[in-house]
Amino acid sequence: MSNNISKSNIAKNIKKLRKEKGISQDRLSKLADLSLNTIVNIEAGNNSNPTIETLEKIAKALGVSIDELLKK
C-alpha cells in the first residue's frame, strides 16, 4: 500500500514542479528526451513503476534532484 502512495507522490511532485517552472508536458518530454505519452502516464499515475533512468531524465530536465521527485 505504501508503494501506491509514493507513486502518486511522484506523479504529484512532477506535475507540481513542472507547473511551477511553466513547462508544458510536451516541453518536458522534449527536455527529458522521453515520449509525451510517458510524461502524461507518469503524471496521471498510470505508469506505476517509472525506471530510475526515466526519473533521472525528468529530474535533470526540471533542474531538481531525484529526491525532489520522490519526497512526500
User: Is the separation of the CB atoms in 34 and 58 below 8 Å?
Assistant: yes
Q: Is the pLDDT of residue 1 over 50?
A: no
Range of the domain at 17: 2-70
Beta strands in the chain (DSSP E): none
pLDDT in tens, 19-69: 999 999 999 999 999 999 999 999 999 987 899 999 999 999 999 999 999
CATH code for the domain in which residue 60 is found: 1.10.260.40
- Which long-range contacts link 32-37 to residues 24+ away (Cβ below 8 Å)? 32/57, 32/58, 32/60, 32/61, 33/57, 34/58
User: Is the separation of the CB atoms in 41 and 28 below 8 Å?
Assistant: no
Q: Tell me how far apart the alpha carbons of residues 31 and 46 are, in angstroms, rounded to a whole number.
A: 21
How many domains, in total, are found in the chain? 1
